[in-house]
Amino acid sequence: MSDKSKTDLFVEHVNSHILPFIDYSALQASYDSDMVYAKGILNRLHEAMVTAYGSERLSETDGENGFVVIPGVVCGRESGKTCLALLELDLSSSGEHWGTSYLCKYGVISQDGAANNSVLKSEIKEINAAYIPYDYGYTATIPGDIHVDRASLPDGIKSILDDFKNHRAALQSEDKQLQGEYYGIWAVRGGGSVLGAAEAWSKRDGVPEVFTSKAEAQAQAERYNKSTASVNVRYYVKEMEPELAKSALRDMEKAAAAQKRAEMTEKYNYLAAAEMSAEQNYNMIDGAINNLPSPRADLTDGQTYEEIRELAPETLPCEKPSVTEKLEAAKRAVKDAPKKQPREKKPSELERG
């Protein structure tokens, strides 16, 4: 039996079998039209969720330390734009929302990814500007979530959630994907640099970047050229060999899964540490800070401790009388009880004169 959590299984499956084979250009076009392709992709993600978690009805025990990652839909409150997303929720905290990864024209973009990767800052800024602030809904059923009321969701979200199971999008097969053209960004350092001349693929988290269209690669290369501080470094678009592209895609999937696991572990440890620093009741390290035990009901009916000790000592902790004490008490009760007076003997009929 696998020791991986259900959340790990879901994340690894979508990273390996769904996300790399989505046509993100078609997905973006779908957002701007009939949403048919988007609904079909959402159904794919939902099916993977049900397989990994065992049901579409989720509770705290289904998550990794309470955290789950599930497919959903976000809708910008100001823009009205709708987008598929992977949502991270803490079910141990009544469904508190922790993170969002958008499925957009750039691929899968984490809402807070800019904190660790300066390359993505412009992309994340653009996507966040389109959707934040947003409402969100999801395909799972989570009875304990106090943050989402499905009946009050925007019509754009409700219409997708009500209809997505009627659609199933075709994914690009790996072979078909690799038959197409792939592009990377070739970084060139000139001889004028003190480090000398060098050339290599531009990498993100140690993995060569892969693009399915030349236009996307060109746009990224231009962003690099604008942001670089050195006149000796330039970035160019270059076609990539299919085998290298395949290897890079696999490495990207593994890195994304590992990063998601690390983020979830870090978030849980942060919550536990924060609670330990403030919790007064150390039997209640459960994600809710300083929640003391419920007070016991007062059943004394106004009697003092001394009165209870005398009248009913067995109700007091550690003061229940022993069997010997009970026997002695019973003897005293018999000894102290008033003696019965003998009944006067009535004369028999023969003795009556």
- What are 24-46's pLDDT values in tens digits? 999 999 999 999 999 999 999 99
pLDDT score of 300 more than 60: no
Binned at pLDDT 50, 70 and 90, residue 256 comes out as: low
Look at 241 and 52; give whichever has higher pLDDT. Answer: 52
| pLDDT given for residue 112 in this prediction | 74
pLDDT score of 162 more than 90: yes
The SS3 assignment for 107 reads strand
Q: How far is CA 314 from CA 110, 114, 134, 171, 317, in A?
A: 62, 65, 60, 71, 8
CA-CA distance, 321 to 327, in Å (whole number)? 10
| pLDDT given for residue 249 in this prediction | 73
Burial (Cβ within 10 Å: 0-12, 13-18, ≥19) of residue 261:
middle
CA-CA distance, 353 to 346, in Å (whole number)? 14
Burial (Cβ within 10 Å: 0-12, 13-18, ≥19) of residue 159:
middle
State the chain's mean pLDDT as an integer.
Answer: 77
CA-CA distance, 84 to 133, in Å (whole number)? 15
334, β-bridge pairs: none
DSSP character string of 192-229: TSTT--EEEE-EETTEE--BSSHHHHHHHHHHHHHH--
Look at 244 and 46; give whichever has higher pLDDT. Answer: 46
CA-CA distance, 150 to 284, in Å (whole number)? 32
Binned at pLDDT 50, 70 and 90, residue 329 comes out as: low
pLDDT score of 190 more than 70: yes
- 246's CB contacts (< 8 A; 6+ apart) are 174, 178
What is the model's pTM? Answer: 0.56
Residue pointed to by tokens 């035990």: 293
Q: Sort strands 82-90 and 67-76 into parallel, antiparallel or unpaired.
A: antiparallel
Per-residue pLDDT reduced to its tens digit, 76-121: 999 999 999 999 999 988 899 999 999 998 888 888 764 434 446 7
Per-residue pLDDT reduced to its tens digit, 258-296: 665 565 555 545 554 544 444 443 333 334 444 444 444
**Residue 300 DSSP class:** S
Q: How far is CA 9 from CA 28, 54, 191, in A?
A: 27, 11, 48
| pLDDT given for residue 87 in this prediction | 95
Binned at pLDDT 50, 70 and 90, residue 20 comes out as: confident
- 66's CB contacts (< 8 A; 6+ apart) are 60, 90, 91, 92, 93, 268, 287
**Percent of the chain at pLDDT exceeding 70:** 66
| pLDDT given for residue 176 in this prediction | 52
The closest alpha carbon to 10, from 96, 85, 68, belongs to 68
- 37's CB contacts (< 8 A; 6+ apart) are 23, 26, 27, 29, 30, 169
CA-CA distance, 139 to 136, in Å (whole number)? 11
